[in-house]
Amino acid sequence: MDPNNACDPDAGLFGLDTPPRSADLHLLAIPWDATTSYRDGTRRGPAAILRASHQLDMYDRALEITHLENIAMIDPPPEIAALNAEARAHAEVVIAAAGRETPTTRPHMDAVNELSERLNGWVRAETAARLEEGRWVGIVGGEHSVPLGAIEAIASRHPGLGILHIDAHADLRRAYEGFSNSHASIMDNVLRRCPEVARLVQVGIRDLCDEEASAIAEAKPRVMTFFDRDLADRTFAGEPWATTIAAILEPLPEKVYISFDIDGLSPDLCPNTGTPVPGGLTYNQAVALVTALGRSGRRIVGFDLCEVAPSRVDPTDEWDGNVGARILYQLCGWTLRTQGRIVPASAAVTHDVDGR
């Protein structure tokens, strides 16, 4: 792969062709949108990110690299897409009934929950196997329910783990529409099923229900939430974003997992995501946050990027995939850098004060 030229359209993520056996970082692509309640389509997220990644220039001054290496995106077996289609068909019966439990909808709820647990088990086993081989794992969704198995596997190996959770939603409902493995319940499941997770730091939250507000209040200090409105107020009052970042990172322990729901960004950056919400982080704010984490001396031990979805109307519109590919590049790069596996630039490029 020549990072200075166009890549082969059949190449892997970012134009790389690293064989999985040689890769330090495995990205598990999970095309799943069984429980998305507003609009589906996140099952097409991994493919949209892959396509858009071929147009990404990989030189990065902050990471001090000309390009990334040793990354392989792992396609799931066909059975995962089949499970999703089956689960989605059941879920649509429940969603059409506004999530009400009735003798008609209850069997469909149970079916979605059973199929979702099968997915969790597969993700957990695939992640654990790669960790045993000495690799790192990132999850590329798919809706935000899909990384649960990976977080379980990673947390079991890193007691005291912290999670940096970037999202428009708190995802702390015990269940939503009868789905215990809902995209709206991922962090509730993490807190209940992963006692090794010592701290959950949420950033950009701006849509939540009363149940979630109570859960946040009752879980302190294990859960610390930086609401989007509060972040905006700090900015309006003149606080530098770097100062706000320092406050966000301060509670996190030495080992951190990043859970990045793309709707944590402003919706102009992800207009086709499953549940867009006004407000949110700019691209530069999000990258600055991940960069500061990477430079803080902490180690990123895993991550997920979820809820990217391509346009339903215009198949040539790659904006969501474009933004998603760039966020994924930052997550990959800072994970490898904090683990001592980054490829440094062969020569630094310097600029004078006016950018020449």
**Whether residue 355 has pLDDT greater than 70:** no
Residue-wise pLDDT tens digits, 34-90: 999 888 889 999 999 999 999 999 899 999 888 888 999 999 999 999 999 999 999
- Burial label for 283, CB within 10 Å (0-12, 13-18, 19+), is middle
Reduced to 3 states (helix: H, G, I; strand: E, B; else coil), residue 30 is strand
**Whether residue 209 has pLDDT greater than 70:** yes
Task: Give a three-class secondary structure readout of 114-158.
Answer: HHHHHHHHHHHHHHHHHHHCCCEEEEEECCCCCCHHHHHHHHHHC
Mean pLDDT check: name the lowest of 77-91, 142-156, 333-347.
Answer: 333-347
- Residue 221, amino acid: P
Radius of gyration of the chain (CA): 20
CA distances from 209 to 86, 134, 206, 314 (A): 29, 40, 10, 33
CATH of domain 13-338: 3.40.800.10
Q: At what angle do helices 241-249 and 283-295 cross, to 10 degrees?
A: 50
- End-to-end CA, the chain: 29
pLDDT at position 255 is 98
**Whether residue 353 has pLDDT greater than 50:** no
DSSP 253-287: -SEEEEEEEGGGB-GGG-TTSSS--S--B-HHHHH
> DSSP state, 179?
B
Closest listed residue to residue 274, CA positions, set 306, 248, 234, 317: 306
pLDDT at position 158 is 98
Write the CB contacts of 81 (distance below 8 Å, at least 6 apart in sequence). Answer: 31, 43
Q: Phi, psi (5° rounding) for residue 336?
A: -65, -35
User: What ranges do the domains of the chain cover?
Assistant: 13-338
Q: What value does the mean pLDDT of the chain take? A: 93
Q: What is the largest CA-CA distance in the chain?
A: 70
Would the CA dihedral through 38, 44, 46, 52 be positive or negative? negative
Q: Hey, what are 202's tokens?
A: 């949420």
142 preceded by a cis bond (ω within 30 of 0) = yes
Residue-wise pLDDT tens digits, 265-318: 999 999 999 899 999 999 999 999 999 999 999 999 999 999 999 988 887 789
Degrees (nearest 5) of the Cα angle 329, 74, 294?
30
Would the CA dihedral through 341, 161, 264, 74 be positive or negative? positive
CA count, 13 A, side-chain hemisphere, 182: 25
- Other Cβ atoms within 10 Å of 312 Cβ, number: 12
Degrees (nearest 5) of the Cα angle 91, 93, 99?
75
- Which H or E run contains 230? helix 228-236
pLDDT at position 316 is 75
Burial 245-260 (b: 16+ CB within 10 A, else e): beebbebbbebbbbbb
pLDDT at position 354 is 46
Q: Phi, psi (5° rounding) for residue 313?
A: -100, -45
Q: Pick the more confident residue, 6 or 167.
A: 167
pLDDT at position 344 is 60
pLDDT at position 348 is 46
pLDDT at position 356 is 40
Q: Pick the more confident residue, 347 or 271.
A: 271
Residue-wise pLDDT tens digits, 162-199: 999 999 999 999 999 999 999 999 999 999 999 999 99
| Torsion, CA 268, CA 269, CA 271, CA 276, rounded to 10 | -90
The position carrying tokens 């329910």 is: 145
